[in-house]
């Protein structure tokens, strides 16, 4: 029997929903994620041994990781994240202490709501805590991103781990991924609410397709750099990019066009949010989805069906896929009081079109890392 009172601390980190700014974090762009109340919680206690002993509330068995062999665990399905976090924590010059961890995750796996970032960030915060060290959410986000890259093989940007660690209840983070300057914007939606919907298509190959897109935009940047004094694609206004239509192979041009136009939409969306202009915010959500569908090609049949169903409902001001794509979730802006009718309509139409049943989650915006002594 698992009893959480046997542990010393609980440390949790948030899943995230990105409102806008998709596939631009690794291009030096700005993003607008919010931390969710869906979270990964680590119950932790030092064990006086040179091992990490990891258990899960929803999995059988345990993983025992020797602290002197951490890089050897890269192929473990679940515990590779913990091995990566611990190895990088120590490599960064911190004290690594053997401990028992119990993982309890309410972020649905494969949903595009960043369960892995929540796991990595909460694990690192737990390691800091048992070592008696200060929890620095920005350093933890950076180490967590490296764990994702080096131990899970996803060449991701910083958005998810930053949001998991630094989120603030009721706020979005307008995060500049080039400088890590972050401005917290109150999410004031007037007479609207956010509704998150999971398309529930079991997806595969997300990592390889994600890495492929990243390679494409890097190629586009290398070509454009010969003409423009830019260090990242986010620095190039769409108008300038359009002038280079003949310089880039068509696929690379479309990829870059998504990135440059999405960066512009983020700035407009931040302005609309500050003014409480939900109509404009909704229009930008729809435009973001269309760009991810047509130029970046990361949506797919199910996410398109789900977003288009949402966009067709009269109480919906805008809807788009959120996260890496290729499956996962949409986020929609819906008139308050109309949520149930909206969900019923979307569910019926999406089911009819795809055969899958969506799951809806309330978007409660929460803090990033939260620590409790038990
Ligand atoms: C994944 C990655 C992020 C970001 C998004 C797309 O969630 O982990 O870094 O690139 O996809 O915006």
**Lowest mean per-residue pLDDT among 34-48, 162-176, 191-205:** 191-205
Cα distance between the two ends of the chain: 18
Instruction: Report the candidate in 104, 107, 98, 138 with the shortest Cα–Cα distance to residue 121.
Output: 138
Q: Which run of H or E residues covers position 218?
A: helix 206-225
Distance CA 94, CA 133 (A): 8
Distance CA 43, CA 9 (A): 6
Q: How far is the CA of 99 from the centre of ligand 1 (A)?
A: 30
Q: How far is the CA of 345 from the centre of ligand 1 (A)?
A: 29
Distance CA 26, CA 47 (A): 38
Asked whether the beta carbons of 105 and 40 are under 8 A apart, the reply is yes
Pocket lining for ligand 1, CB < 6 angstroms: 22-23, 25-26, 114, 156-157, 159-160, 323-324
Query: Superfamily assignment of 187-361 in CATH?
Result: GHMP kinase, C-terminal domain (3.30.70.890)
Instruction: Spell 113-145 as b/e; 16+ CB within 10 A means b.
Output: bbbbbbbbbbbbbbbbbbbeeebebebbbbbbb
Length of the chain: 374
Pairing of strands 9-18, 370-373: antiparallel
Query: Is-same-fold flag (4-184+366-373; 187-361)?
Result: no
Asked whether the beta carbons of 57 and 104 are under 8 A apart, the reply is yes
151 φ, ψ (degrees, to nearest 5)? -110, -25
Question: What pLDDT digit, counting tens, does each position of 123-154 carry?
Answer: 999 999 999 999 999 999 999 999 999 999 99
Asked whether the beta carbons of 20 and 265 are under 8 A apart, the reply is yes
pLDDT at res. 10: 97
pLDDT band at 205 (very low <50, low <70, confident <90, very high): low
217, pLDDT greater than 90: yes
Q: In what order do the strands lie in the sheet with 33-46?
A: 62-66, 51-56, 99-105, 33-46, 9-18, 370-373
Kindly report the number of other CB atoms within 10 A of residue 219's CB atom: 16
Compute the half-sphere exposure of residue 296: CA atoms within 13 Å on the CB side of its CA. 30
pLDDT at res. 5: 81
pLDDT at res. 363: 85
Please pick, among 25, 104, 160, 304, the residue that the annotation labels catalytic.
160
Distance CA 159, CA 114 (A): 10
pLDDT at res. 249: 97
The answer to whether residue 160 is catalytic is: yes
Question: What pLDDT digit, counting tens, does each position of 236-280 carry?
Answer: 999 999 999 999 999 999 999 999 999 999 999 999 999 999 999
pLDDT at res. 204: 65
Nearest atom (ligand 1) to Cα of 210: 11
pLDDT band at 27 (very low <50, low <70, confident <90, very high): very high
Q: To which residue do tokens 């899958």 refer?
A: 356
Distance CA 238, CA 261 (A): 6
Q: How far is the CA of 24 from the centre of ligand 1 (A)?
A: 8
Distance CA 111, CA 202 (A): 9
21: region left, alpha or beta (phi > 0 left; psi from -120 to 50 alpha):
left
Q: Which two tokens stand for residue 100?
A: 């028992």
Summarize the confidence of residues 285-304 as an average pLDDT. 97
Query: For the residues of 236-291, what is the DSSP string, one character each?
Result: S-HHHHHTTTTTS-HHHHHHHHHHHHHHHHHHHHHHHHHHT-HHHHHHHHHHHHHH
pLDDT band at 3 (very low <50, low <70, confident <90, very high): confident
pLDDT band at 122 (very low <50, low <70, confident <90, very high): very high
Distance CA 130, CA 95 (A): 9
Question: What pLDDT digit, counting tens, does each position of 324-342 carry?
Answer: 999 999 999 999 999 999 9
Q: What is the mean pLDDT of the chain?
A: 96
Distance CA 9, CA 126 (A): 8
pLDDT at res. 203: 73
**Lowest mean per-residue pLDDT among 4-13, 136-145, 255-264, 314-323:** 4-13
Specify whether domain 4-184+366-373 bears CATH 3.90.1200.10: no
16, pLDDT greater than 90: yes
Nearest CA to ligand 1 atom 8: 156
DSSP state letter for 28: T
Domain ranges of the chain: 4-184+366-373, 187-361
Q: Determine if the pTM surpasses 0.85.
A: yes
Which burial class, exposed, middle or buried, applies to 2 when counting CB atoms under 10 A from its CB (0-12, 13-18, 19+)?
A: exposed
pLDDT at res. 1: 67
Summarize the confidence of residues 37-41 as an average pLDDT. 97
Q: How far is the CA of 48 from the centre of ligand 1 (A)?
A: 37
Instruction: Report the candidate in 153, 77, 76 with the shortest Cα–Cα distance to residue 109.
Output: 77
Question: What pLDDT digit, counting tens, does each position of 67-80 carry?
Answer: 999 999 999 999 99
pLDDT at res. 159: 98
Q: List CB contacts of 259: < 8 A, sequence separation 6 or more.
A: 23, 24, 27, 29, 217, 233, 234, 296
């Amino acid at each position: 029997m698992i009893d959480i009172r046997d542990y010393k601390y609980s440390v949790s980190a948030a899943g995230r929903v990105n409102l806008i700014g998709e596939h631009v974090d690794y291009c030096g762009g700005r993003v607008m994620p919010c931390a969710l109340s869906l979270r990964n919680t680590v119950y932790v206690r030092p064990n006086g041994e040179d091992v990490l002993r990891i258990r899960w509330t929803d999995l059988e068995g345990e993983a025992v990781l020797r602290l002197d062999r951490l890089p050897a665990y890269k192929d473990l399905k679940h515990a590779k994240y913990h091995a990566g976090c611990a190895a990088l924590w120590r490599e960064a010059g911190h004290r690594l202490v053997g401990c028992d961890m119990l993982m309890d995750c309410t972020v649905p796996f494969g949903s595009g709501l960043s369960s892995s970032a929540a796991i990595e960030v909460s694990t690192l915060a737990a390691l800091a805590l048992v070592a008696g060290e200060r929890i620095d959410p920005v350093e933890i986000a950076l180490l967590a991103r490296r764990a994702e890259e080096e131990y899970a093989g996803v060449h991701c940007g910083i958005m998810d781990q930053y949001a998991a660690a630094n989120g603030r209840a009721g706020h979005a983070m307008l995060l500049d991924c080039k400088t890590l300057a972050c401005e917290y914007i109150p999410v004031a939606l007037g007479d609207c609410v956010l509704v998150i919907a999971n398309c529930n298509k079991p997806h595969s190959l997300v990592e390889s397709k994600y890495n492929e897109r990243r390679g494409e935009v890097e190629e586009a940047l290398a070509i454009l750099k010969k003409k423009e004094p830019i260090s990242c694609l986010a620095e190039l206004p769409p108008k300038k990019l359009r002038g280079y239509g003949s310089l880039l192979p068509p696929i690379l041009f479309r990829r870059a066009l998504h990135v440059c136009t999405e960066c512009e939409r983020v700035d407009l969306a931040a302005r609309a949010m500050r003014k409480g202009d939900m109509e404009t915010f909704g229009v930008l959500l729809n435009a973001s989805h269309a760009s991810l569908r047509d130029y970046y090609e990361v949506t797919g049949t199910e996410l398109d069906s789900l977003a288009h169903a949402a966009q067709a409902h009269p109480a919906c001001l805008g809807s788009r896929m959120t996260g890496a794509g290729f499956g996962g979730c949409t986020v929609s802006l819906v008139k308050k009081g109309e949520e149930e009718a909206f969900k019923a309509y979307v569910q019926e139409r999406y089911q009819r079109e795809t055969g899958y049943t969506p799951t809806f989650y309330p978007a409660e915006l929460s803090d990033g890392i939260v620590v409790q002594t038990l």
